[in-house]
Amino acid sequence: MTALEQFAGEALRRSPYFSEEHEALRDQVRRFVESEIKPQALAWEEQGFVPRAVLERMGELGFFGIRYPAEYGGSEMDTLATVVLAEELGRSTFSGVAITALVHTDMASVHVFNAGSKAQHERYMPDIIAGKTICAVAVTEPDAGSDVKGIRTTARREGDAYVLNGAKMFITNGVHADIYCVAAKTDLSAKPSQSVSIFLVEKGTPGFKVSRALDKHGWRSSDTAELVFEECRVPAENLLGQEGRGFYAIMRNFQNERTVIGAMAIGEAQAAIDLTLDYVRTRKAFGAALWEKQAIRQKLAMLAAKVEAGRQLVYHAAWMDAQGMEATREVSMVKAFCGELVNEVMYACVQFHGGMGFMRESTIERMARDARVQSIGGGATEVMLEEVAKRL
């Protein structure tokens, strides 16, 4: 452990935001990352997905049930615990692995829990928490991303079923998920905000197919797909919550998703700085280590300060949410600031690695590719800044 890592660890333990339970979780996730992700994840980058056995192991350790009730196998913790999980997975340097887990825990399965009936909870939640059933959320379409009201997938009621038609794009866990939370318009004549509903669609449902796996710039160990629904019949009982309330459910969970992505980005940024500090202290140029160059020391110092500021913004927004306070402004700031910051950090860290930073064999090259999407997915920076501006 470097001196900076030791200092960061001690600082986290002094944080007023976290309890001993939170820190025990942090230690547990960090051990898992070191022992079971880092030694194997390069192979997962090549194969394009995280093995199911690894996800089940995460379920066994309790990582997938952090916020869920004990009756289904969860540990009933809070938003800050989610931040701990996301930050530590971000620190792994394998963000494709991190997003595979975090989409399951905090972007997809939350729809089952938040809007699902008691019967749906009993049927799905135990296996979701155990990592035996993996979830995806299918909202984004070829012509609709952050603009949820613009989706075109439809669901018409026919007797005791709904029939879905449409396509979804850029769906994380889309190839290998077991259940999909699919947004579709059920009333084309209603206001856009009251026309969307969410349905549980199981893999293998007739009329539903993964049309293609997508080849991405980064997050290579995360499977991502385009989905197609052609006269796909799902039982009416697979409606999540009330018909026409899907838009509000999606907006509600965007807050959680954006907090998670912010925490993950901070973990990535910290890992990149740690990695680069080690490199510049040993790499020599013009007769001395790069660390001896004032320009490099000061740049890294400023980036470290920005990352610390971003970390505290994430923690505070999560604390507000955990207290039941309105935090849309703060969470939007988190997503905008951290998504841009992690890319600023990666750019500098690749630069300080010199030629090695451009080589596929270097960790920082992979991390820079992975980080690029952090200012796009879950709400592009420009969209987030408009959310902040509305609340100034």
Structure tokens at 281: 């202290």
Task: State the sign of the Cα–Cα–Cα–Cα dihedral 38, 226, 258, 59.
Answer: negative
Q: Are 363 and 322 in contact (CB under 8 A)?
A: no
In this structure, the chain runs to a length of 392
Q: Annotated catalytic residue: which of 45, 87, 141, 257?
A: 257
Q: 209 has which bridge partners?
A: 228
Angstrom distance (rounded) from CA 44 to CA 98 = 12
Q: Is 257 a known active-site residue?
A: yes
* Token code pair at residue 26: 């942090």
Rounded CA gap, 235 and 138, in Å? Answer: 18
**Largest separation between any pair of C-alpha atoms in the chain:** 79
Q: Hey, how many other C-beta atoms are within 10 angstroms of the C-beta on 389? A: 10
Task: List, by residue number, the catalytic residues.
Answer: 257
